[in-house]
Chains A and B, each alone.
Chain A
Amino acid sequence: QVTLRESGPALVKPTQTLTLTCTFSGFSLSTSGMCVSWIRQPPGKALEWLALIDWDDDKYYSTSLKTRLTISKDTSKNQVVLTMTNMDPVDTATYYCARTPLDSSGYYYYHDYWGQGTLVTVSS
């Protein structure tokens, strides 16, 4: 059974750094083709992909946010951590982590299991 759970602060102040942890079970991030993504959704708005880390520890970031994001993994703990610097009220959103397999053809990703999300509010 695959599960993911996001954890982190519900409230951060502007300019602070946000650290979110995704703790997962039911799969290994060491398996070839396996990845984990972070995705966010501001209230009432669309989903936005943020970052991805793959089985080989390669990391990929949203072009618009890459200067602020760092993704890392601890395979032994089954955790993926996302840090986002210089938080602003516009970063208020529900943050999701998702299991993101890369198809065996290497042709496409898909997000097949999601955590329940964690709402992060940025306010002074």
Chain B
Amino acid sequence: SSELTQDPAVSVALGQTVRITCQGDSLRSYYASWYQQKPGQAPVLVIYGKNNRPSGIPDRFSGSSSGNTASLTITGAQAEDEADYYCNSRDSSGNPLFGGGTKLTVL
């Protein structure tokens, strides 16, 4: 199918590790990229490719993939990591496709 499925909401205690997942058939063929979006702001790229971080993104953010699932892991979550997170990959036509987003709450 040409869908990317994310859990609507995830929570994590301050300083703990959280994994945000994205599922879809296209992930068997294409890498995902991950975006952080805070209220009222444009999305920010945090992970792309196999596990690449743009300049300025803390190394507590990492990406991985297995089968039809891509994951974004935040190791030692901080209060400023509270945001919406979106995965992006390619659909069956090869065009970009976003997941439905995950709202991360840091407790």
Contacts and interface: CB of A to CB of B under 8 A. Distances in A.
Given A47-B86, A108-B31, A112-B45, A100 B96 contact: yes
21 contacts: A37-B96, A46-B86, A46-B101, A47-B37, A47-B43, A47-B88, A49-B95, A49-B98, A52-B96, A63-B2, A63-B95, A103-B31, A108-B30, A109-B88, A110-B45, A110-B48, A111-B35, A111-B45, A112-B54, A114-B42, A115-B42
B21 interface: no
A112 B48 contact: yes
A117 B99 CA distance: 19
Contacts of A96: 42-43
Contacts of B33: 108-111
Interface of A: 37, 39, 46-49, 52, 60-63, 96, 100, 103, 107-112, 114-117
B97 interface: yes
A63 B89 CA distance: 15
Interface string B31-54: 101010100001111001100001
B61 to A, nearest CB: 14
Contacts of B98: 39, 46-49
Nearest to B2: A63
A103 B49 contact: yes
A117 B48 CA distance: 22
Contacts of A112: 45, 48, 54
